[in-house]
Chains A and B, each alone.
Chain A
């Protein structure tokens, strides 16, 4: 049935290009026909997808349990904001302590600030990875969490650099759909290439059996450091985009709850699946917003129920637990999206119907 592989590849490439064009059309049309609130959610989906992907690279693909994502996001968000803010804005904002003089005139355009956000987050990631990647399992998670918390306390205390708990405001809203999806696609392409390369095989080998990989002569430590650093780069860029869409940041935004949110995206999507992280981001981000209606007063016929604050998260958490119990590997498991799989669906369904039942694991 299946044509030769080169024919397939051409077909798949055409399909990929077509869907990219579709996405571009959507991004072009969305701001024209959807209201700003929906556009914002669509933006957040892309940002969360970048954050999910970067955590997935660290945890899902390289097997390093990290609970420090919020910390790297904070680095990115602050670096980007401090670079974008103009000296006039800075001179008004630091009402607690005067701003550090070297910071005053530091200024960069948006794209450069995004890059710097990623690079500095990656640099700090690399720096702390050197000592703590020797730890394994949950201990690594706790150490990264500790690092993230230390960073948060530093941000609150170093007022002359970060403006302390008051945070930064008036960050220009640079994050448009083109920017966030552009970043997502670039990062996505990079991750896909990386995972398809030899390095991807090495990463997976290290995750599945580090000792075996070591005996095969792989420098497992360097591999892990590299994966961690790239992941932190993504977190930094994601954090910067986040700051640029909310336009104000402070240390309270980057608590462990932020890390949980991203972890949720990764696990619900499917640990180790690139497609999963993107799906997870779509689902978690829209769900959190869409569920808001349960907190509005609701009228059904003659009934009128007052909205109960907190109800949204009650329902969300129940759904979360239900999904994880009934689909413990997440939506995608470790699988990936591919055109071959999609195109084989109709045939698979036909086969299943023809065999007159629902055989388990038939495909």
Chain B
């Protein structure tokens, strides 16, 4: 019995690194599959896997996606990318959710000269000054400006409050860009309150904000936290509107927030399964997604899918899987039709994409339109 167990264990151990072949192109994928950001990373993984299923080959070679978890942790993210490059010898890397992790992974990829395409890391620092780092999503300055413009111009709100997570790079960055733009347009920021990741009680901050009577509260939170905050605000009798950013785009938000999130508006990637005038890529993605996973897709899923498509497009144009050539081809990416709109990289390797405005109406996410800051 013991011998059998041992034999099994040995098989188990060796199975790990068994496969390797020359006629394979390897795409490394690192993302938050566990830890605090796992909900986003999982969806992006599913997006990539769907795309991989549809396009398993390029240049007559099979594509292999090597998936590694970064545990939503910086050290792990850097390790994961090192491992992808050094042990798995991947040609190009996709990932990750959360800018902090993308920065950590990006530093490694930059030094190793392997191109990396970020999925939903919206902080401007991710690609700043980097030769090998690109991203599929828009950046926060654009998003913050879009949100501010929509709040001030389209909705006519003049007084805003901001509630942010003080240890979240995403929240603090986006809040700053919203604040600057809202003030520039002529609006007034009446209150700025903070909390810390892991908090679940926001009543103190909300009570304080209510006393300042804002028209709108900008809440650049992650969806689970955001839904709870909206719920508590309604319990306290708050009547102001809430606005948020792309991290609120998750199918679970409606279940979590219930009635409380009715009327919630957020900026997001220009994709929703029910959006009108969908382009062909988005149509196909939506159909296949429902077939494959039988649940609603969201912006993260679309970005995962888009990243894979962009990488494939670059490899096709490069005519080679050499990292250096893929990088050059990525840099020249122009007018590629993706789920979240047409993608063209600017000089800083960021796509100039439309910003979607989404609203929760009747317990459902509704695509309102796009906004130009």
Contact = CB atoms under 8 A, between A and B. Distances in A.
Nearest to B164: A165
A293 B18 CA distance: 11
Contact of B74 (A35, A93, A252, A309): A252
B83 interface: yes
A180 interface: no
B60 interface: no
Contacts of B85: 36-37
A156 B166 contact: yes
A289 interface: yes
Contacts of B17: 293
A36 B176 contact: no
A248 B107 contact: yes
Interface stretch (A166-174, A207-215, A339-347): A166-174
A313 B16 CA distance: 17
Given A93-B125, A310-B34, A250 B15 contact: no
Nearest to B11: A300
Interface centre among A35, A37, A298, A307 (most CB of B within 10 A): A37
B123 A246 contact: no
Interface string A207-250: 00000000000000000000000000000000000100111111
A347 to B, nearest CB: 31
A93 to B, nearest CB: 7
Interface string B19-37: 0000000000000011000
B74 A293 contact: no
A201 interface: no
Given A37-B87, A170-B129, A250-B169, A95 B176 contact: yes
A166 B100 CA distance: 7
Contact of B104 (A95, A246, A299): A246
A38 B83 CA distance: 8
A322 to B, nearest CB: 15
A251 interface: yes
B68 A37 contact: no
Instruction: Determine the main DSSP class of B at the interface with A.
Output: helix
A115 B315 CA distance: 46
Nearest to A88: B129
Contacts of B108: 247
Interface in A134-157: 153, 156-157
Contact of A35 (B86, B111, B166): B86
Nearest to A89: B129
Interface string B120-150: 0001110011000000000000000000000
Nearest to A309: B33
B79 A250 contact: no
B172 interface: yes
A96 interface: yes
Interface in A279-308: 289, 292-296, 298-300, 307
A92 interface: yes
B86 A307 contact: no
B86 A248 contact: no
Contacts of B12: 298, 300
B78 A250 contact: no
Contacts of B104: 169, 246-248
18 contacts: A37-B79, A37-B83, A37-B86, A38-B87, A41-B79, A92-B129, A153-B166, A165-B165, A169-B125, A247-B104, A247-B108, A248-B104, A250-B169, A252-B100, A295-B33, A295-B68, A296-B67, A307-B67
Given A153-B166, A247-B108, A248-B78, 15 more contacts: A37-B82, A37-B85, A165-B166, A167-B103, A167-B169, A246-B104, A250-B100, A251-B167, A252-B197, A253-B75, A293-B16, A300-B12, A300-B15, A309-B69, A310-B34
